[in-house]
Amino acid sequence: MLNDKFVALGVTGSIAAYKSVELVRLLKKAGARVQVIMTKSACEFVKPLTFQVVSQNSVITDMFREPSFWEVEHVALADKADIFLVAPATANIIAKIAAGIADDMLTSTLLATKAKIIVIPAMNVNMYENPITQRNIKSLRTNGITVFEPEEGELACGYTGKGRFPEPRDILEQLNIVLGKDGDFKNKKLLITAGPTREPIDPVRFITNHSSGKMGYALAEKAIHRGADVILISGPTNLDPPLGLYKYISIETAEEMFRAVMEYYLEADVIIKSAAVADFSPKHRESEKIKKQGFNMNIKLNKNPDILQELGNRKKQQILIGFAAETSNATTNAQDKMKRKNLDFIVLNDLTQEGAGFAGDTNIVRILHKDGRIEELPKMLKKELADEILNRVYLYLQQNRTF
């Protein structure tokens, strides 16, 4: 969403100004071009040179200084910006925007721009909660400006409460959500399952597999950034659920995943079953820890419900995507699974290849389509692969609409 975008970033006089330096770094990393505009008081907290270095661009601090090139005068900058951030935003700048004041470079440019404006407040809790500030924030929102909620916690002023500037990495994620709202998955609901399931033997032991959940979480995050409503049903992982989920359901066993999927699948347009569901579970879950002494070394297993098979049997309009992790006869096995489970396509991990599979950040897959097409994808990051998978889901959604 930020790639190749021209981002104007207004920095105002808050101690949180130093955090915006990291924000600029992340924006640049995401492919954006960044033009920083600092108010006079922002310059008291951080030197313009710092922003100049991280943004690899000149920093605008003074409306009346001779511009180094004419393009940067305020109206031109207002026109050029795709996105206009004010971060951190003090109570003062929020009040000025609400009142339409244009008495410096930042406020003049803000008043002239037609870009999407996003304001990220940072201030003392009492200033934030003051009815005047709240009225001003409401006025900004009524005028189509997005105002992020500040975080709660310890504030630089020594108070505790709402007013903290969010961590730059969380801001970036929220930006992707806001900017993705009108993306190609707008008004589409995706149900995604992720991670392993865990089948208890006794209170301390369980059967599971190596799934990290990274692929499913990457799919959920990218789908949110493309405007989808995402229901993520996840087994135990070490990952934080992405921001902006429609619903997050945490489960442990295959049986629990089965029940959660059956509860929600009817409202989904697309179901992606990237979870590595355990195929078997112990027949009896012992209520006490099994002792070595006297244990007969046998655990009887039951077959778990095949969730994807059940979805394939019930499938109507939905796009249904499965994953296959194979160690031999990969393509034939995956093709067989795709047909048996009535899928639109299947993403095949050949676990014998280095860089493919469960724990890492990369994957190498083949995508097998129901019409017989086979696509061989190069090794890529799971986040990149998530977008590749979603691109194909999008095409299937378009076909469903046409016919």
**What residues are labeled active site?**
157
| In 39-197, beta strands by DSSP E | 83-89, 116-121, 146-147, 151-154, 160-164, 189-194
Residue 53 phi/psi, 5° resolution? -70, -50
Token representation of residue 11: 């920095």
Q: Looking at beta carbons only, is 84 or 265 nearer to ligand CTP?
A: 265
Closest approach, Cβ 347 to ligand CTP, in A, equals: 8
Q: Looking at beta carbons only, is 307 or 386 nearer to ligand CTP?
A: 307
Q: Looking at beta carbons only, is 163 or 216 nearer to ligand CTP?
A: 216
Closest approach, Cβ 268 to ligand CTP, in A, equals: 14
Are 59 and 37 in contact, with CB atoms under 8 Å apart? yes
3-state secondary structure of 337: helix
Are 263 and 231 in contact, with CB atoms under 8 Å apart? no
d(CA 161, CA 289) in angstroms, rounded, equals 45
Closest approach, Cβ 85 to ligand CTP, in A, equals: 39
Residue 190, judged by CB atoms within 10 A of its CB (0-12, 13-18, 19+), counts as buried
d(CA 271, CA 230) in angstroms, rounded, equals 10
d(CA 282, CA 303) in angstroms, rounded, equals 9
Q: Looking at beta carbons only, is 19 or 337 nearer to ligand CTP?
A: 337
Closest approach, Cβ 161 to ligand CTP, in A, equals: 44
Q: Which residues bind ligand CTP (CB under 6 A)?
A: 254, 273, 275, 277, 279, 304, 306-308, 322-325, 337
Closest approach, Cβ 261 to ligand CTP, in A, equals: 8
Residue 331, judged by CB atoms within 10 A of its CB (0-12, 13-18, 19+), counts as middle
Q: Looking at beta carbons only, is 91 or 268 nearer to ligand CTP?
A: 268
